[in-house]
Amino acid sequence: MPSTFTLVTESSYSVEALFDLSLDIDAHVASMSHSKERAVAGVTTGRIGLGESVTWRARHFGIWFTLATKITELDRPARFVDRQVRGPFTTFDHEHLFESNETGCRMTDRITVGSPVFGWLAERLILVPYLRRLIARRNRHLLGTLP
């Protein structure tokens, strides 16, 4: 059974700015430089949109992975969803939510992931903590790039 976790990031930036930046392939690649992640097919630069796909190649846990995702839902500037269409997971859905608040914006990442190896135990002990750190690092990077 897949595992779901949520990560909330507070920002002083506008929902529109953070929403658009979160769809930017180049910003994502820059945020994942430590894993040598790059876009290798589909939309490989600029902003990705509804119905469009990107294939990522990255090194995690010392292993090279290829993951193709598609933007399956998009409601600017409140929400979008990217979903694995081909790759190493049994399930990988990433819902991005953006809400204005008194200090700027709250960005919420809700990720559902299913591991093909060792199932629920591997998800809870290894995969979820790793992905939580990875997304937190990505979000810190994104916030550091806005003017």
pLDDT digits over 29-66, tens only? 999 999 999 999 999 999 999 999 999 999 998 999 99
pLDDT, tens digit (0-9, with 9 covering 90-100), for 116-135: 877 788 888 999 999 999 99
Helix (H) or strand (E) holding 132: helix 128-145
- pTM beyond 0.85: the answer is yes
Mean pLDDT (the chain, rounded)? 94
The range of the structural domain enclosing residue 20 comes to 3-145
Pairing of the two strands 3-11 and 104-114: antiparallel
Pairing of the two strands 53-60 and 63-75: antiparallel
Asked whether 37 and 57 are in contact (CB, 8 A), the reply is: yes
Total domains in the chain come to 1
CATH number of the domain to which 19 belongs: 3.30.530.20
